[in-house]
Structure 1
Amino acid sequence: MNKAIADYIQTNRDAILKKWIEAIKKQSDERLSKIVSDLAFVGTSKEFIDLIISNIKDPNEKFTAKLSDFAEKVVRLGWPLTFATKGLQTFGNIVFEGMVEKGIVTKEKHYDFDSWLSPMRNEIVNMYAYTWERTVSMQKIALQELSAPVIPVFEGITIMPLIGTIDTERAKQIMENLLSGVVKHRSEVVLIDITGVPVVDTMVAHHIIQAADAVRLLGAKCMIVGIRPEIAQTIVNLGIDLNQITTKSTLRKGMEAALALTNRKIVKLEGEE
């Protein structure tokens, strides 16, 4: 059965590919057409068909390696799993119908044909799921590292810009990055910039105050900058005490204060406007 399928696909590869691309484009949602160009779609479709053919001709470890590479590629491109699952089912239907028309198999053989297709479908789904989970895990780690960077801007002065919401998990990451950054860069002054934090409630303020207190225990001074009017009002209404922490409305004012604390200042050169 496998040899007959392989011979038919090899002989009619171009016609099968054309029918397959037309069918998949009709089934695909708008999301796929927006993120994938026609050229990329055709190229990846050819690769997918060749992958199936290689498994029919010689199912071994090489197929698993090729499948892993293909799954990584489509996951990286953001293609949905349905591209692989529906695509394989559609491919099977096209091949089976073509073989029935040419009298190579009978309609009664559909069960045998589907039995041949099922193991490949399971392998593709498993590989795709594994690749997706691994990619998401790596992205999560990367986002955690980027979500609370400690940036040295001058000798002894570092900035931690915070953007987005702060939950308990992220607050822990902020604390760890901040303390390790203070030690690594030998910081004298640290500016925590909350300009990009949309909401500062009791929990967020508590985490920021804890971070500032921890910085002081390491012998560095800490400032919170980016205190917008609405955030200032919220802090006052919540009764949060920031008396022990220096605050500034903008990063620029915070930087000027940090330079002053390290016996430096910004001066205009002669001839500057």
Structure 2
Amino acid sequence: MDRKFKKIVLDNSDIIVEKWMDEINSLKNSNYSSSVTDELLESTNQEFVNIIFSSIKNEGETQQIKAFAEKLINLGWQVSYITDGLQVFRRVTIDFILSQSDQIDTRYISELLQSVDKWVEPVIRQLVNEYSGNWENILSLQRRALQELSAPLIPVMDNITVMPLVGTIDTERAKLIMENLLNGVIQHNSEVVLIDITGVPVVDTMVAHHIVQAAEAVRLVGATCILVGIRPEIAQTIVNLGIDLGKFPTKSSLRKGFIKALELTNRKVVNVGDEDDAVEQLVDSLGGE
């Protein structure tokens, strides 16, 4: 009986596709298609229904389904587009086959439902699995990228590096900061590291504790840590909390911190006049003759 139902569907695919397109287009105001053009929606719908019929005709077809799932993710559509589309196909197909039969009984309907489910369920299972797997992979890559950007260590000059921090610092991020600091100090042969907390909205006991730990770890590997970007409200908070930041230099701005870093590495900022004066001052600043 399944072969008979399949023949009816394939022989009348044009009619079923037309009915499916009419119903699925009525859902175009749903979230999964609200941000795309009518042309893109039409082409995607056509590709979707082609994949459904291809899977009925060629059982075990997987490559097209995988590519289609990736396309939906790139378009930013919700998984409800997949489930809605296949539910509509199931309903339209069953209604059409029933309309073509003169004798309908309970057994006939039961066999029909089993056949249609046999076609639809593998497609929906694979599409949803491919969609979920690709989506999880994208989230994993994005999470990794954000982690790499959340605690960057930037070499700005020989032996001087800067770590600008932006946003809230939690325990997981503090661990990443510590790792990046220690690895970066060794990799860049840093003598001075400036931790810029200008973009950190709140400095509480936990945040300050993590910063002190990071600075102490930097000191243990032979470098000096300078904490910069201390705004007045943060300075007041640190004092009220009784947190001791006296073990390493602190500055109110990155500019002042950088000047201090130059001093610690036996360099300084000089104003240059004409070319001869510039050369002379540069030689003096480098300790030359």
TM class by shorter chain equals 0.7 to 0.9
CA distance in 2, matches of 1:38, 1:5: 27
Consecutive aligned runs of 4 or more in structure 1 exceeding 6 Å deviation: 104-107
Q: Counterpart of 1:7?
A: 11
**Cα deviation 1:39-65 (Å, max 9, x = unaligned):** 4333333332222222112122xx323
Partner of residue 180, structure 2: 177
Tell whether the 8 Å contact from 1:17 to 1:46 is kept in structure 2 after alignment: no
| Structure of greater Rg | 2
Q: Distance in 2 between matches of 1:269 and 1:8?
A: 85
Question: Partner letter of residue 235 of structure 1?
Answer: I
Distance 1:150 1:43, change over 3 A: farther
Contact 2:166 2:199 in 1 (8 A): yes
In 1: Cα distance, 2:12 partner to 2:172 partner: 56
Matched residue type, 1:50? N
Seq. identity, %? 52
What's 1:241 paired with? 244
What amino acid is aligned across from residue 146 of structure 1 in structure 2? L
Give me the whole-angstrom Cα distance separating, in 2, the residues matched to 1:39 and 1:163.
Answer: 42
Q: CA separation in 2, counterparts of 1:261 and 1:39?
A: 64
Deviation at 1:197, TM superposition (A): 1.3
Amino acid at match of 2:57: K
CA shift, 1:150, in A, is 1.0
In the TM superposition, 1:74-93 aligns within 5 A as 74-93=72-91
Counterparts of 1:15-164 in structure 2, within 5 Å, are 15-16=18-19, 18-26=21-29, 28-29=30-31, 32-34=33-35, 36-60=36-60, 63-101=61-99, 108=109, 109-164=112-167
Paired residue for 2:213? 210
- Counterpart code for 2:188: H
Amino acid at match of 1:80: Q
Structure 2: tracts of 5 or more residues without a match: 275-289
Corresponding letter in the other structure for 2:34: S
Aligned alpha-carbon RMSD (Å):
2.6
Whether contact under 8 Å (2:70, 2:131) holds in the other structure is: yes
The alpha-carbon deviation at position 235 of structure 1 amounts to 1.1
Q: Which residue of 1 aligns with 2:277?
A: none
Cα distance, 1:85 vs structure 2 = 1.2
1:231-270 mapped onto 2 (5 Å cutoff): 231-270=234-273
Structure 1's 200 and 239: CA in aligned 2 closer, same or farther, altered over 3 A? Answer: same
Residue segments in structure 1 that go unaligned for 5+ positions in a row: none
**Structure 1 range deviating more: 167-176 or 41-50:** 41-50
Shift of 1:212: 0.8
Residue 126 of structure 1: how far off its partner (Å) = 2.1
Amino acid at match of 2:70: E
Deviation at 1:111, TM superposition (A): 4.8
Provide the rounded CA distance (Å) in 1 between the counterparts of 2:244 and 2:197.
17
Relative distance call for 1:3 and 1:235 in structure 2 (3 A) is farther
Letter in 2 for 1:87: G
Q: How many pairs align?
A: 265
Q: Distance in 2 between matches of 1:18 and 1:39?
A: 13
